[in-house]
């Protein structure tokens, strides 16, 4: 028996808790079932199909905003801020990046507001913490296997010294991620107030996933069910699920922040800061207005133009490099999430000349790499320094104990996101510099990025979010001239950039044949949930048994891993397995 077949049979026999096909976030959305064909025939129509699934969000969020649990979340935040306690956001993959974004937005507010705040307001920067599976290293690349173990979540929370009275918001799109569930249990054991945020119907989770049911039925944990329906791309929870989570949790944190400030500052002082208090209904209205603006004829035309621009670069085997300042973390999030979703090469470390270059990358035009990382996170990176002894204590798989991954800050700094030159990106067959900017920073950012770095690239472009009079001197300009509401954490800027980049990157990859129908068959099965998803996609596409699909997938994974070790740009094991089964069927 081959190693691949043995691993497949072990998964089939031991990992039934990771069979998640009954979950709504894993199901097909009927609106986008013809997406891969539509995107070739009529790109604007395909973009509208993607946006039509975003339209599912406001009605679902209206119900959440009216729930007692949402008010309890706001009140828990306010109490923690008033009593000197901390707020933790925990997640894995897309929700881990969301957690880090919330912390960075919080820190940026306090950093930028210090000179305007009175003596009545203490320094609050360190009152919000993010905990991502694999630490900050996983911003770039999810650490294989970490999300599969609740004890890993417990350990990372213990290292942050969660205390009684703290607030823990455990965020998981599917509601079943073991790591995130582990953080919830650790918070509860430590005496913290725990909230569990997820995007599948509560009754479906309780019926199908034991670990989810145990958390949901724990009365001391407050639940927020953010179900919006299936994703636009089957299982791609970086899209609607994470958008809903950013909206709900970000809104609650902003409302709590303004209430905290209102007790310490005069109305005039708060007005000077530019932050008036919004009610939940105001947030819902602003969300609906943003989605409406992005679906206008002008916006859809811009999204289609940006998609074609990127597609042309990639089809010539070219590379795109994004530059940004305050939005760099938002851009990095979308860029890194393309790798597991569409099996693109991940970011390459400094000194690695064997691995293929990532199709897209991010850089800070103002700062060197270490300073860029600190500006991106608004703090020092928090890498993990776990050695073999810790993995043994956690009863980790043999591979992790034998060769613990390097996840510390030194490894994070090897991702050169600063303004150092990188000839491997500019010397590609085609190359583009794309500057992404928001109102208030356009002129300075454009001048620095384009004047200093633009001549190194074969093409330049600008993606501008918000109202501005600046006309960027670029080959292409994609402008979204919306009057985004001002808010303490810049929630509307983050949501707008997320929705825009999600749409562009998804539409581009669909046009690059990385999706069949609305199924992301070019995914990277890097954990048990994704192995299950890949097996289901193969079984659905080939009309074969789940067991046969799982075995073929593991055989393809073995082949792909061999190619990766040789530094090759490899296909998705899912796509490769489908090809193998199709070839075998045609020969028989």
DSSP annotation of 439: T
In angstroms, the first-to-last Cα distance of the chain is 23
Residue in the structure block whose two tokens are 């030159």:
421
CB neighbour list of residue 185: distance below 8 Å, 6 or more residues apart: 150, 154, 215
Maximum C-alpha span of the chain: 79
Q: How far apart are CA 498 and CA 288, in angstroms?
A: 15
For the chain, list residues with pLDDT below 70. 1, 118-119, 271-277
* Cα–Cα distance list, 316 to 41, 461, 507, 508 (Å): 21, 17, 18, 14
pLDDT given at position 565: 83
pLDDT digits (tens, 9 = 90+) for 269-284: 776 666 666 789 999 9
Q: What pTM, to 2 d.p., does this model score? A: 0.94
Distance CA 391, CA 152 (A): 9
Residue 541 DSSP code:
H
pLDDT score at 276: 64
**In angstroms, rounded to a whole number, what is the distance separating the alpha carbons of residues 302 and 474?**
15
Residue-wise pLDDT tens digits, 233-247? 999 999 999 999 999
CATH 3.40.50.10490 placement within the chain: 36-48+295-366+419-511, 56-281
The model's pLDDT over 201-223, given as tens digits with 9 standing for 90+, comes to: 999 999 999 999 999 999 999 99
Tell me how far CA of residue 442 lies from CA of 464, 469, 524, in angstroms: 8, 9, 36
- H-helix segments, 512-545: 528-542
**Topology of domain 56-281, per CATH?**
Rossmann fold (3.40.50)
User: Tokens 């609050």 sit at which residue?
Assistant: 124
Contacts of 7 (CB under 8 A, 6+ apart): 554
Q: How does strand 360-363 pair with strand 319-323? A: parallel
What is the pLDDT, as a whole number, of residue 240?
98
What are the E-state strand segments in 16-92? 87-91
Q: Which of 252, 422, 435 is nearest to 327 (CA)?
A: 435
- CA-based Rg of the chain, rounded to a whole angstrom? 23
- DSSP per-residue letters across 446-478: HHHHHHHHGGGSSEEEEEEES-------SSEEE
Structure confidence at residue 483 (pLDDT): 82
The DSSP element (H or E) to which 444 belongs, if any, is helix 442-453
Class of domain 36-48+295-366+419-511: alpha beta
What are the backbone angles phi and psi of residue 221, rounded to the nearest 5°? -105, 130
């Amino acid at each position: 028996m081959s190693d691949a077949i043995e691993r497949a049979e072990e998964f089939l026999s031991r990992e039934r808790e990771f069979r998640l096909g009954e979950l709504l976030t894993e199901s097909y959305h009927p609106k986008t079932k013809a997406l891969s064909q539509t995107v070739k025939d009529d790109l604007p129509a395909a973009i509208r199909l993607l946006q039509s699934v975003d339209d599912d969000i406001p009605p679902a969020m209206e119900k959440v905003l009216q729930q007692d649990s949402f008010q309890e979340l706001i009140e828990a935040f306010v109490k923690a801020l008033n009593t000197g306690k901390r707020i933790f956001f925990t997640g894995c993959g897309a929700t881990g990046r969301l957690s880090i974004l919330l912390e960075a937005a919080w820190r940026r507010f306090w950093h930028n507001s210090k000179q305007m705040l009175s003596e009545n307001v203490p320094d609050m920067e360190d009152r919000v913490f993010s905990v991502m599976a694999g630490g900050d290293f996983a911003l770039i690349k999810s650490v294989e296997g970490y999300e599969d173990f609740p004890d890993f979540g417990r350990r990372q929370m213990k290292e942050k010294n969660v205390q009684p009275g703290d607030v823990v918001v455990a965020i998981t799109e599917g509601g079943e991620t073991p790591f995130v569930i582990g953080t919830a249990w650790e918070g509860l054991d430590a005496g913290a107030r725990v909230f569990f945020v997820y995007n599948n119907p509560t009754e479906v989770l309780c019926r199908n996933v034991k670990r989810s049911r145990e958390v949901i039925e724990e009365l001391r944990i407050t639940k927020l069910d953010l179900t919006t329906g299936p994703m636009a791309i089957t299982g791609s929870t970086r899209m609607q699920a994470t958008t809903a989570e950013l909206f709900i949790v970000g809104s609650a944190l902003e409302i709590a922040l303004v209430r905290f400030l209102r007790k310490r500052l005069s109305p005039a002082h708060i007005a000077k800061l530019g932050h008036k208090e919004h009610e939940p209904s105001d947030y819902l209205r602003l969300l609906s207005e943003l989605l409406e603006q992005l679906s206008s004829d002008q916006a859809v035309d811009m999204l289609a133009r940006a998609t074609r621009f990127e597609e042309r670069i990639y089809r010539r085997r070219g590379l795109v490099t994004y530059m940004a300042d305050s939005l760099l973390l938002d851009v990095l999030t979308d860029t890194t999430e393309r790798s597991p979703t569409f099996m693109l090469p991940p970011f390459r470390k400094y000194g690695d000349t064997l691995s293929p270059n990532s199709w897209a990358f991010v850089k800070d035009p103002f700062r060197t790499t270490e300073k860029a990382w600190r500006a991106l996170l608004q703090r020092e990176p928090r890498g993990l320094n776990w050695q073999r002894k810790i993995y043994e204590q956690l009863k980790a798989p043999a591979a992790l104990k034998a060769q613990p991954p390097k996840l510390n800050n030194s490894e994070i700094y090897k991702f050169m996101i600063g303004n150092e030159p990188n000839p491997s990106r500019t010397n590609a067959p085609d190359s583009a510099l794309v500057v992404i900017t928001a109102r208030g920073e356009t002129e300075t950012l454009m001048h620095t990025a384009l004047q200093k770095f633009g001549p190194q690239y074969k093409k330049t472009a600008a993606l501008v979010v918000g109202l501005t009079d600046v006309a960027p001197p670029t080959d292409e300009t994609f402008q979204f001239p919306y009057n985004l509401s001002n808010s303490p954490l810049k929630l509307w800027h983050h949501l707008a950039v997320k929705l825009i980049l999600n749409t562009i990157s998804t539409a581009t990859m669909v046009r690059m044949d990385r999706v069949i129908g609305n199924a992301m068959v070019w995914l990277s099965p890097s954990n048990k949930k994704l192995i299950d998803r890949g097996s289901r996609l193969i079984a659905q596409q080939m009309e074969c048994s789940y067991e046969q699909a799982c075995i073929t997938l593991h055989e393809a994974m073995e082949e792909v891993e061999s190619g990766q070790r040789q530094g090759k740009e490899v296909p998705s094991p899912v796509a490769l397995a489908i090809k193998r089964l199709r070839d075998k069927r045609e020969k028989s």
